[in-house]
Copies of this chain bind each other. A is one copy, B any other.
């Protein structure tokens, strides 16, 4: 029987660059884990592709999935749903492959409850001032929204305590390397590998 895969969860405050880091990880290739595409009801941003960046669905379809228990996690942000379809995650883990999720902090909390042995990574801005600048530079929000987001970011950084690792997104390459290192290291955790050694000892 194949060993069950490891669940890897990348999260962090809005605007910290989770999507960019996740894309860089998968653009590099050579990874032993599968990306689990999120489902959302928000409109695609420029360049985003359905079935690649997200599954873009209607509000009705998303709520149907929730009702039927088909979501591993979901959350509402600015009137839109974001979430992870459960089926694909379980199938992949059962086949022995690792699954990589990139999700919001509320979603990560739900996943932690359901799959506590996952590896939970929190992406942080180098400092909060820079986070503010990034949100402003994106230029899609007014000042009130920005301030609301800042308060939320402080709260989110406090939620870091529920994670296993904190990775600073100072440079994308550094964050990517750190995340890959962490994943390699987690595969060597005694709690994950001891069952194999127990089998080996059984032969003596």
Contact = CB atoms under 8 A, between A and B. Distances in A.
Interface size on A, as a range, is 20 to 34
A194 B154 contact: no
B165 A197 contact: no
Contacts of A166: 188-190, 193-194, 197
A161 interface: yes
Interface stretch (A30-38, A49-57, A81-89, A122-130): A122-130
**Interface SS of chain A: helix, strand, loop or mixed?**
helix
A24 to B, nearest CB: 17
Interface of A: 122, 124, 127-128, 154, 157-158, 160-161, 163-167, 178, 181-182, 184-186, 188-190, 193-194, 197, 200-201, 204
Contacts of A201: 154, 157-158
